[in-house]
């Protein structure tokens, strides 16, 4: 309330040639009084997942920097869209934020009755972390790299299969794009989640799985599955000896899952810039870097403008992948 009154007071004093000066003064005043109450970060997923862990990791240092409590609130359901709708309709004053994953960009391809626009109704703050995927196969498949896999799939069209953590998930769409770029036909077997998909691949009941690196790292290191390639633009620090898909014959392929922070649309740019500045500094801390490594993520700070563009680009990429996979919004 104090925030709104201060802004209205300044703007009502402005007129004629002094309008530009007054807007600058209003922006400065917003910076001075923000934040003036606790900040809430709403996470659209259950506790313990990457978006929850990253939000909790930055909460304490962000609270110290802004001198206000930072509260994490989990509102899981519908691929994060329940939480996103809450934040899209929140007061755009920087006190309600949204922790999102790449699933945010997938929402238009999966849900026909969204009450928000993933790009238009939010102001991007920063990418917090990225995590590449890794394409794994059981040793029994006999493939050592992506070229082997493509050759095998082309010799047996429709006979190989891949698992996913569910229709429309990153683990599904990343493989649909891979299939399209490789020109191969592989059947999709959706499962209930990442742990089950890893187990089914390890036993050979399914033959391929594009999975986040963190959860499958022990299985790779034990030799129970073979890591054929990682999906990011560069080799993962967690699997430095595993080439990327683009290194392995598909130079146009890239898929990275990201976790980021959004504010409601129309949040003043000065507040967005303040949040971005503080978060960028937090992401340089060694203890935060170590936490990211433990959960299989990498630092990937961005400007708000860069993150806005990432979301727009990803919406288009996922829409195309959904069309290829014949996924229709429900």
pLDDT of residue 323: 83
Query: What is the Cα–Cα distance from 98 to 305, expressed in whole angstroms?
Result: 17
Last residue of a domain, one of 197, 229, 248: 248
**136 and 220, same domain (yes or no):** yes
Instruction: Give the pLDDT score at 23.
Output: 46
Which tokens is 57 given?
């990791």
In a domain, 3, yes or no: no
Kindly state the tokens that stand for 134. 């890794």
Spell out the per-residue pLDDT of the chain, length 330, in tens.
Answer: 444 455 454 445 455 555 555 544 544 455 568 999 999 999 998 888 888 999 999 999 999 999 999 999 999 988 899 999 999 999 999 999 999 998 899 999 989 889 999 999 999 999 999 988 999 999 999 999 999 999 999 999 999 999 998 877 888 888 988 998 899 999 999 988 888 999 999 999 999 999 988 888 999 999 999 999 999 888 988 899 999 999 998 998 988 889 999 999 999 999 999 999 999 999 999 999 999 988 888 888 899 999 999 999 999 988 887 887 788 777
In a domain, 206, yes or no: yes
Q: What is the pLDDT of residue 14?
A: 53
Are residues 187 and 101 both part of a single domain?
no
Question: Same domain for 54 and 125?
Answer: yes
Report the CATH number that the domain containing residue 215 is assigned in CATH: 3.40.190.10
Residues 126 and 158 in one domain: no
Q: What is the reported pLDDT for 20?
A: 53
Do 270 and 293 share a domain, yes or no? yes
User: Does residue 205 sit in helix, strand or coil?
Assistant: coil
The pLDDT value recorded for residue 330 is 74
- Regarding whether 217 and 70 lie in a shared domain, the answer is no
Structural domain harbouring 155: 132-248
pTM: 0.79
Say if strands 161-164 and 187-190 run parallel, antiparallel, or are unpaired.
Answer: parallel
Residue 179: predicted pLDDT: 92
Kindly state whether residues 273 and 176 are assigned to the same domain. no
**Which residues, 6+ apart, have CB-to-CB distance to 101 below 8 Å?**
45, 50, 51, 80, 170, 257, 258, 259
Residue 31 lies in a domain: no
Look at residue 33 in the predicted model and tell me its pLDDT: 87
Question: Is residue 115 helix, strand or coil?
Answer: coil
């Amino acid at each position: 309330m104090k925030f709104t009154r201060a802004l209205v007071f300044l703007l009502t004093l402005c007129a004629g040639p002094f309008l530009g000066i007054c807007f600058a003064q209003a922006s400065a005043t917003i910076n001075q009084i923000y934040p003036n109450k606790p900040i809430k970060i709403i996470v659209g997923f259950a506790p313990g997942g990457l978006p929850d862990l990253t939000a909790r990791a930055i909460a304490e240092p962000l609270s110290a920097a802004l001198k206000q409590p930072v509260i994490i609130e989990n509102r899981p359901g519908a691929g994060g869209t329940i939480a996103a709708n809450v934040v899209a309709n929140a007061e755009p004053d920087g006190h309600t934020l949204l922790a999102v994953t790449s699933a945010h960009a997938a929402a238009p391809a999966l849900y026909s009755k969204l009450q928000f626009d993933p790009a238009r109704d939010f102001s991007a703050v920063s990418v917090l972390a990225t995590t590449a995927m890794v394409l794994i196969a059981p040793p029994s498949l006999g493939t050592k790299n992506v070229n082997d896999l493509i050759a095998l799939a082309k010799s047996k069209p429709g006979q190989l299969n891949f698992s996913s953590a569910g229709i429309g998930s990153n683990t599904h769409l990343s493989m649909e794009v891979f299939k399209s770029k490789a020109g191969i036909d592989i059947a999709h077997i959706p499962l209930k989640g990442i742990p089950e998909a890893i187990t089914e691949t390890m036993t050979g009941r399914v033959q391929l799985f594009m999975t986040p690196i963190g959860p499958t790292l022990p299985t790779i290191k034990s030799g129970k599955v073979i890591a054929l390639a990682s999906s990011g633009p560069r080799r993962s620090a967690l699997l430095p000896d595993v080439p990327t898909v683009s290194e392995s014959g598909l130079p146009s392929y890239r898929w990275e899952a990201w976790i980021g922070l959004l504010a409601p649309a129309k949040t003043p740019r000065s507040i967005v810039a303040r949040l971005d500045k503080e978060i960028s500094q937090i992401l340089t801390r060694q203890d935060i870097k170590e936490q990211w490594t433990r959960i299989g993520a990498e630092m990937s700070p961005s400007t708000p403008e860069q993150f806005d563009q990432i979301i727009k680009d990803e919406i288009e990429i996922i829409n195309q992948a959904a069309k290829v996979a014949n996924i229709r919004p429900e």
